[in-house]
Amino acid sequence: MDQQRWQKVMEWPLVAAALIFLAAYAWEVIADLSGPAAVPAELIQALTWALFLVDYGMNLYLAKPRGRWFRSHLFDLAVVVLPMMRPLRALRFVTLLRVLDRTAGVAIRGRIALYVTSAASLLVFVAALAVLDAERPAAGSTIKTLGDALWWAVVTVTTVGYGDEVPITPQGRIIAAALMVCGIALLGIVTATFAAWIIEKIAVQDAEQQAVTVAHIKSLESKIETLQEMISTLQR
């Protein structure tokens, strides 16, 4: 079995695992489970995490130049290893980003808008969960419900930043910083998509002023070929 086949087989199970992971994580955070009540949710998260660990191990085993694959997939390693460190549990959500990343290859042309919208929605939801998890137990925090956390995440990712809800724990602030960086990238992608669209529209506006395409050059080529044939008949 080669690596490409393994990745094809595992694609949908990994998407399913990521969704189940997110559901279990959301359940644990929203219901504010702790102690024995949190065991089922924790167990589901551990099982889906195990699937990602197996996938990483198989990929590493099957990769042809193994060292090169390892060096170019350090992010995947972080995704698999970091959730074990208790204080960084919020970073688990990057597991989902890897799945999104897999479908990114398809999303180049018109689907960028759809992809950005769903990625942004997922990002806002996961960041809200992670910040709620970090901030709820902290004294003096203003983020106490899922509604507050979602409101905070939208205000942050759009870079509006009212300041009515602000994370105060180190963990919450790291999540917030990651969300802000994503907000900037989001702004960049939205703008870039509009820019590409407008530049394209302006290019089409006047046929005579339009950029020359390969199709135009091909018509020139066929005319020159006709010339060559005509001269050939002359030579005969």
Q: Summarize as ranges the residues that interact with its own copies (CB under 8 A).
A: 108-109, 112, 147, 151, 154-156, 158-164, 166, 170, 173, 176-177, 180-181, 183-202, 205, 207-217, 219-221, 223-228, 230-235
Q: What is the nearest approach in angstroms of its own copies to the Cβ of residue 169?
A: 11
Least Cβ distance, residue 125 to its own copies (angstroms): 13
Pick from 192, 230, 183, 11: nearest CA to 103: 11
User: What would the DSSP string read from start to end of 141-158?
Assistant: -S--SHHHHHHHHHHHHT
CB of 89 to its own copies, least distance (A): 20
Residue 72 Cβ vs its own copies, minimum distance, rounded to whole Å:
14
Closest CB to its own copies among residues 34, 219: 219
Residues with Cβ within 8 Å of residue 102, at least 6 apart in sequence: 11, 14
Give min distance, CB of 6 to its own copies, in A: 28
- Looking at beta carbons only, is 37 or 185 nearer to its own copies? 185
Rounded CA separation 76/94 (Å) = 9
**Shortest spacing between CB 235 and its own copies, in angstroms:** 6
Residue whose CB is less far from its own copies, 58 or 112: 112
The DSSP annotation for 159-202 comes to: T---SSS---SHHHHHHHHHHHHHHHHHHHHHHHHHHHHHHHHH
Complex with its own copies: residue 12 or 194, whichever CB lies closer: 194
Residues in contact with 164: Cβ distance below 8 Å, sequence separation at least 6, in sequence order: 142, 155
Look at residue 32 and give its three-state secondary structure.
coil
Q: Which is nearer to its own copies, 34 or 213 (CB)?
A: 213
Closest to its own copies by CB, 4 vs 233, is 233
**Which 3 state secondary structure label does DSSP give 73?**
coil
CB 88 within 8 A of CB 107: no
